[in-house]
Amino acid sequence: MKTLTILYDANCRLCCRIKEWLQAQSKYVDLDFIAAGSEAARRRYPQLDHAATLKELTVVSDEGNYYRGAKGWLMCLWALRNYRGWAIRFSSPDMMPLARRFVVKISSLRFRFGYQTSWTER
């Protein structure tokens, strides 16, 4: 695997901040970002439920595998040099429920961080 494509909500300020943070990290795997629900995302991945990608982070590998929600976030961490160990730990059967709860909680709070009113593909 050489590249992960991350479909993120370009109207969510928290999502955009996380995108900037991910871009600044040292990586084992390249990260490509596409605004979820955009025409570019629809053209590249016509088989996806694009309304769902606006509600839940979706990550697609260059091998064609899809990861959503907590698994998507763990794949983002797995791609990073300084966080791969965390991703591996939290993907274990014992820790995955905790990872899911954490992602659900952060996702439920993301609108508190602000939402942009215009569509901007970043």
**Residue-level pLDDT at 119:** 43
Domain assignment of residue 61, yes or no? yes
The mean pLDDT of the chain is 87
Q: Which domain holds residue 105?
A: 3-113
- Spatial distance between the Cα atoms of 36 and 54, rounded to a whole number of angstroms: 6
Residues of the chain with confidence (pLDDT) below 70: 107-122
Domain assignment of residue 63, yes or no? yes
Domain assignment of residue 86, yes or no? yes
Domain assignment of residue 122, yes or no? no
Pair of tokens at residue 8:
């993120």
Domain assignment of residue 90, yes or no? yes
Beta strands at 58-61 and 66-68: parallel, antiparallel or unpaired: antiparallel
Domain assignment of residue 26, yes or no? yes
**Residue-level pLDDT at 122:** 40
**Residue-level pLDDT at 113:** 54
**Residue-level pLDDT at 100:** 79
Count of the separate structural domains present in the chain: 1
Domain assignment of residue 120, yes or no? no
Q: What is the pLDDT of residues 45-71, one digit of tens each?
A: 999 999 999 988 999 999 999 999 889
